[in-house]
Chain A
């Protein structure tokens, strides 16, 4: 069956080989950006695609990871892995707080609560002294991995980011295919039934929310080191919308959808930024949103899977 092709070892091996060679062909910073946002979107997809929870506040986790990592790396000159660990842990903590508050509400309310909480975080970061306000944090050192490997070279950094990405994706894969992941799908499909079967639904929702927030923080921490910059853009509600769009376009509930969606959106942004067409970018994003919802709800990977299933 062709559908199994995407999960086959051969395909994964080919993808891995491609990932290893590609920085010699394409500008590695662009690739790292795609990997970071691919991980971010995959973390978001864990919520919407597997637990049916639409968060509109994931910018808060991306930016918290970035700010915390950026701050400790700049102030204390830690090794890279410690910096990322601290940023990721901060996002996990924030995810716990957000989750405790938001899983009490469902559906549209959940989306509004997460959006409002993220806006609260945005305003805190506007005022907080450690974020650098409108200027953001600039010149964040990438540090040395385990105190040994210097990451200031973009090629070296690429392979590190690739490793982080793969670890994150592997973790998501394990989560989805664990008994925990199956309970999540049961909740998504029929919540009252899951409750009647004795599952503590809120507890499961909180857990998956924290996992998603943690991985989003990991993506944010890594991204801050890639660009050596963290700014309010990452905390803005536009960012929360962008990750929704990446996942929707790539395919909600598919394994590779978020990465594909992130690649396409970043590709488009890259095409338009800088040029005279820059002011069209939000219009284009909006149109993609509308077209996806109206005609294309399975996303690129979802549609591709359908075509392969029907024709082979």
Chain B
């Protein structure tokens, strides 16, 4: 392949692809955070840990229960969502009237416990999870080689993010959710069961993390600290995007993945820090975030 202006297109597109994949995970995780934040006004620090739990559940299911990848894509988010429902009902509900910072501290504790349990059980080295047969291999696009599994991640994440956006913005169920975000007390006054809605919303937001965990299992090694590392980046992305809109969370996630990929190609030394630097710039020039409402 010829190079243009000293740019090697194969390597560049390769990094762009990696960036898009990372962006897909960022989008799924920040979407979950945004949905939960909208209704509960807390930032779920356990979101990363539950993503890790999702990956471990996929691994355990395959190893011990014969649950294959496709089944795991359904079973794991449901079970992680169920854990989320328990967390909401048992731990978060009792402090829902306290300062919302306590919610952050509480979920931080939950994250430590989950990460500690899986470190204790499986050690901190990663476990392998093989790509399902139907998604192995790849296609040569001429300018780059595209592994099927990676294309699958991007397509399915966009599909899940897109349909979540559609449900929230365009359907009656979504209208309830948006109304709850605006003013949950008035919504309850109209006879909507808001506490149940909060529980299910938390469960769904967390299930998104579990889903991302299953997607991640075959390409990242399954390890206890995989969640914490990605979550802090997602926090920066949330600050960059602002919590203003569901679509904003998805777009910012993808965009930051791409920026990270480009940085890996042009200046690899900064690839771990570039998203944080973007956050600094956003704080300097648009403190409310790209999609956030003005303070």
Taking Cβ atoms with an 8 Å cutoff, the residues of A that contact B are 54, 101-102, 104-105, 107-109, 111-113, 115-117, 119-120, 123-124, 126-127, 237, 241, 244, 248, 279-290, 292-294, 297
Give the chain B neighbours of A105 by CB distance below 8 A.
Answer: 239, 283, 287, 295
The docked-state distance in angstroms from the alpha carbon of A115 to that of B108 is: 12
B236 at the binding interface (Cβ < 8 Å): yes
Given contacts A111-B101, A279-B120, 20 further A-B contacts (CB under 8 A): A101-B280, A102-B283, A104-B287, A105-B287, A111-B43, A113-B279, A116-B236, A116-B276, A120-B280, A123-B272, A123-B276, A124-B273, A127-B269, A279-B119, A285-B116, A286-B113, A286-B114, A289-B105, A293-B105, A297-B102
Give the chain B neighbours of A280 by CB distance below 8 A.
Answer: 116, 120
Least CB distance, B247 to chain A, in whole angstroms: 20
Cβ A293 vs Cβ B120 within 8 A: no
Which parts of B43-61 form the interface with A (CB within 8 Å)? Answer: 43
Q: Pick the interface stretch among B17-25, B92-100, B174-182, B209-217.
A: B92-100
Least CB distance, A204 to chain B, in whole angstroms: 17
Give the chain A neighbours of B101 by CB distance below 8 A.
Answer: 54, 107-108, 111
The docked-state distance in angstroms from the alpha carbon of A109 to that of B93 is: 22
Q: List 22 A-B contacts (CB under 8 A).
A: A54-B105, A104-B283, A105-B287, A105-B295, A108-B42, A108-B104, A112-B238, A113-B239, A119-B236, A120-B280, A281-B116, A282-B116, A283-B117, A284-B116, A285-B112, A286-B113, A286-B114, A286-B115, A287-B109, A290-B109, A290-B113, A297-B98
B194 at the binding interface (Cβ < 8 Å): no
Give the chain A neighbours of B273 by CB distance below 8 A.
Answer: 120, 123-124
Give the chain B neighbours of A244 by CB distance below 8 A.
Answer: 105, 108
The docked-state distance in angstroms from the alpha carbon of A63 to that of B233 is: 20
Which parts of B75-99 form the interface with A (CB within 8 Å)? Answer: 91, 94-95, 98
The docked-state distance in angstroms from the alpha carbon of A294 to that of B277 is: 36
Q: Mark B103-129, 1 if CB is under 8 A from A, else 0.
A: 011101111111111011000000000
Are A113 and B232 also in contact (CB < 8 A) when A108-B104, A282-B115, A290-B113 are? no
* Chain A, residue nearest B101 (CB): A54
Counting from the closest, the 8 A-B pairs by CB-CB distance are A289-B109, A286-B112, A282-B116, A286-B113, A283-B116, A120-B276, A116-B236, A290-B109
B284 at the binding interface (Cβ < 8 Å): yes
B265 at the binding interface (Cβ < 8 Å): no
B35 at the binding interface (Cβ < 8 Å): no
Which parts of B217-253 form the interface with A (CB within 8 Å)? Answer: 228, 232-233, 235-236, 238-239
The docked-state distance in angstroms from the alpha carbon of A293 to that of B109 is: 9
Cβ B111 vs Cβ A101 within 8 A: no
Are A101 and B283 also in contact (CB < 8 A) when A120-B277, A283-B117, A293-B106 are? yes
Which parts of B155-211 form the interface with A (CB within 8 Å)? Answer: none
The docked-state distance in angstroms from the alpha carbon of A271 to that of B268 is: 42
Cβ B100 vs Cβ A108 within 8 A: yes
Cβ A113 vs Cβ B283 within 8 A: yes
Chain B at the A interface: SS class? helix
* Chain A, residue nearest B277 (CB): A120
Which parts of B136-150 form the interface with A (CB within 8 Å)? Answer: none
Most chain A CB inside 10 Å of its own CB: which residue of B112, B120, B277:
B112
Least CB distance, A237 to chain B, in whole angstroms: 6
Most chain A CB inside 10 Å of its own CB: which residue of B101, B102, B111, B269:
B101
The docked-state distance in angstroms from the alpha carbon of A116 to that of B275 is: 9
* Chain A, residue nearest B90 (CB): A294
Cβ A286 vs Cβ B110 within 8 A: yes
Give the chain B neighbours of A104 by CB distance below 8 A.
Answer: 283, 287
Contacting residue for A248 out of B105, B120, B228, B238, CB 8 A: B105
Give the chain B neighbours of A111 by CB distance below 8 A.
Answer: 43, 101, 104
The docked-state distance in angstroms from the alpha carbon of A119 to that of B276 is: 8
Give the chain B neighbours of A289 by CB distance below 8 A.
Answer: 105-106, 108-109, 112
Cβ B106 vs Cβ A283 within 8 A: no
The docked-state distance in angstroms from the alpha carbon of A308 to that of B185 is: 39
Cβ B284 vs Cβ A54 within 8 A: no
Give the chain B neighbours of A117 by CB distance below 8 A.
Answer: 276, 279-280
The docked-state distance in angstroms from the alpha carbon of A116 to that of B234 is: 9
The docked-state distance in angstroms from the alpha carbon of A50 to that of B16 is: 46
The docked-state distance in angstroms from the alpha carbon of A286 to that of B105 is: 10
Least CB distance, A269 to chain B, in whole angstroms: 13
Least CB distance, A111 to chain B, in whole angstroms: 6
The docked-state distance in angstroms from the alpha carbon of A130 to that of B109 is: 33
Least CB distance, A271 to chain B, in whole angstroms: 16
The docked-state distance in angstroms from the alpha carbon of A127 to that of B111 is: 27
Contacting residue for B108 out of A126, A241, A294, CB 8 A: A241
* Chain B, residue nearest A102 (CB): B283
Cβ B238 vs Cβ A286 within 8 A: no
Give the chain A neighbours of B108 by CB distance below 8 A.
Answer: 241, 244, 289
Cβ A294 vs Cβ B287 within 8 A: no
Least CB distance, A178 to chain B, in whole angstroms: 25
Cβ B43 vs Cβ A282 within 8 A: no
Give the chain A neighbours of B239 by CB distance below 8 A.
Answer: 105, 109, 112-113, 116
Cβ A279 vs Cβ B116 within 8 A: yes
Give the chain A neighbours of B235 by CB distance below 8 A.
Answer: 112, 115-116
